[in-house]
A = this chain, B = another copy of it.
Amino acid sequence: MRWNLPADHLPEAWFNVAPHLPEPLQPPLHPATRQPVGPDDLAPLFPMALIGQEVSTDPWVDIPGEVLDVLRLWRPTPLVRAERLEQALGTPARIYYKDESVSPAGSHKPNTAVPQAFYNKQEGITRLATETGAGQWGSALSFASALYGLECKVYMVRASYDQKPYRRLLMEVWGGEVVPSPIDDPTHPGSLGAAISDAVRDAAGRDDSHYSLGSVLNHVLLHQTVIGLEAREQLTLAGEERPDIVIGSCGGGSNLGGIALPFVPDERVELLAVEPSSCPTLTAGHFDYDFGDVAGMTPLLPMYTLGHDFVPPSIHAGGLRYHGDSPIISSLVHSKRMQAVAYPQGKVFDAAVQFARTQGTVPAPETSHAIRAVIDTALAAKETGEEKVILFNYSGHGLLDLSAYDAYLRGQLDQF
């Protein structure tokens, strides 16, 4: 069963969680002075509208009409009840998911790529530079850039560039220019942190260009809150008062934040972050100031981190291979408003294939982390007999990740 909203029910403002956080957000610091960074420090990289959103404490931020017009290409996204999965598990829990895989780029990422491209264009910028790991973010920004007539340069982690040609091709169909990173060492497999350094260096050096980040920052999570706002309205249509638990996979934190943040003020709703055991930022990292990138070019961010020089193993969920975490998500975990759990890759793909064979769609490896936790939560509810209402973010499809499924089906997947 699916609940659609009419196109005119798209939220017209983003939900700002800042006033609702149990612990106030600490500011990013300049690495040299360790003083809070100001707008002027960020202006070479971001348009003023986004810098303003980054520090806003307004409870709601209006979505520009020109952004809504583009979001309506695929939003509102469906809310789906996973009845066939429930039946297969024999659980009394009711499992709902928000299907963000229906966007042109196949994930939630365009929710922020579109406003980022819009605000940059509004400020006269004609070119964006960014990094991408597995390619989800790079394809979203290439898509958004095509719609606003901007150039888009994507620094893609070299290992993914070589192994995932389809993601690169998708960016190129939308006119994006994709190069492998690190650009100065063709023998290095690359990392997200190193690709961020490449993209920041590019944007900082050109007047026509800005930098664009697909997760972590406050304005990115802000843009993603359309997911949770729509889900709340759709759950009401489905006859549910509220979810008992909201679950999302967590790399930088944007898909999780998108679905979970609107529920933060309602303390009856549990929130759960799911991360890979091989990159256990929230479950095994420490809460401290750290750089967002390998080269130490970004401001210091207050977050759970494994250290900015941490290089995670090359699991298939490339989008979750980040040493740090969104300051907002980190704050929620630090204050215990949100819980976190980590799963190894083998168990994640067990869940992914079970989902594909019951509900029919093939989830992204990143998304499958959330599905693993959903299944375990639903099985726990079976033990207790609780009619738990579970909401999770189906953040993307796995159609360009089928080589990972191939490895799984042939028993060649690293289990860690």
Contacts and interface: CB of A to CB of B under 8 A. Distances in A.
Contact of A143 (B84, B106, B360, B406): B360
A3 B175 CA distance: 29
Contact of A170 (B7, B173, B362): B362
A60 interface: no
A399 interface: yes
Nearest to A103: B360
Contact of A169 (B80, B102, B357, B402): B402
A403 B357 CA distance: 27
A357 B104 contact: no
Contact of A173 (B5, B359, B362): B362
Which 7 pairs show the lowest CB-CB distances between chains A and B?
Answer: A104-B360, A4-B4, A169-B402, A104-B361, A146-B357, A166-B402, A399-B399
Contacts of A72: 1-2
Question: How many monomers of this protein are in the complex?
Answer: 2
Contacts of A403: 165-166, 169
A43 interface: no
A56 to B, nearest CB: 28
A400 to B, nearest CB: 6
A106 B399 contact: yes
A28 B166 CA distance: 43
A4 B6 contact: yes
A74 B2 CA distance: 8
Contacts of A361: 104
A217 interface: no
A341 interface: no
Contact of A73 (B6, B73, B359): B359
A49 interface: no
Contact of A166 (B80, B166, B170): B166
A122 to B, nearest CB: 19
Instruction: Kindly state the interface size class of chain A when it binds its partner.
Output: 35 or more
Interface string A367-403: 0000000000000000000000000000000011011
B399 A170 contact: yes
Contacts of A106: 399
A338 to B, nearest CB: 31
A146 B354 CA distance: 11
Contact of A353 (B6, B104, B173): B173
A171 to B, nearest CB: 10
A356 interface: yes
29 contacts: A1-B7, A2-B7, A2-B72, A2-B73, A2-B74, A4-B4, A73-B80, A84-B147, A102-B102, A104-B359, A104-B361, A106-B399, A146-B356, A146-B357, A147-B358, A165-B403, A165-B406, A166-B166, A166-B403, A169-B405, A169-B406, A170-B362, A170-B399, A172-B409, A173-B353, A173-B356, A173-B357, A173-B362, A174-B356
A111 to B, nearest CB: 13
A175 B1 CA distance: 24
Given A3-B7, A106-B399, A399-B400, 15 more contacts: A1-B7, A2-B7, A4-B6, A73-B80, A73-B359, A146-B356, A147-B357, A147-B360, A165-B402, A165-B403, A166-B400, A169-B406, A173-B353, A173-B409, A399-B399
A139 B72 CA distance: 29
